[in-house]
Amino acid sequence: MSSRPDLESPERGEQRDGEGAIRSTAFGTLLAGAVCLYFGFVWAADAPLSASPEAEQMWYLVDRVFRWWFRVVGVGFLAAAGLSALGKRTGALLSTAAEAGFSLLMFALLVDGVAESVAMGGFDATVILFAILLLVGLSATRHSWRIFKATGTGGEVRAD
């Protein structure tokens, strides 16, 4: 154990209750939903300059799918934020699902970014951003799942 008391885990009796743990995620989930909805409506569809007219339509289709995916995940985040603000356990579960969908979206955008970079013969720095956001999304998914799993049906913290 650490000699610093602020770095030690609190005793089980001192831990926040499950409802409080769920409520603490509401604001971050709300922000994630707002950002996803923003990108869902302003995402600019593009295609590599070297793409043929047929391939260009495929690139635009993929970007439309990404825009709708952002919108659906954004609505999921907003619903999870509302439920989490109320301290509902389903808020943590819905947050886990939205974060998993976001992580999957970041992986798809990462693959798309690499494919587009290869097609254009260069490197797009947003690929790095997608990789970072993928890691953040996976970490958030794990965190929400742990909160969901740690809370019982009544919102209390389960003893392991």
Kindly report, residue by residue over 46-72, the tens digit of the pLDDT: 766 677 788 788 888 888 899 999 999
Kindly report, residue by residue over 90-141, the tens digit of the pLDDT: 999 999 999 999 999 999 999 988 988 888 788 888 899 999 999 999 999 9
Calculate the alpha carbon distances from 27 to 10, 34, 45, 77, 83 in Å. Answer: 24, 11, 30, 10, 11
**3-class state of residue 151 by DSSP:** strand
Which residue type is seen at 73? V
Kindly report, residue by residue over 8-22, the tens digit of the pLDDT: 554 554 345 778 888
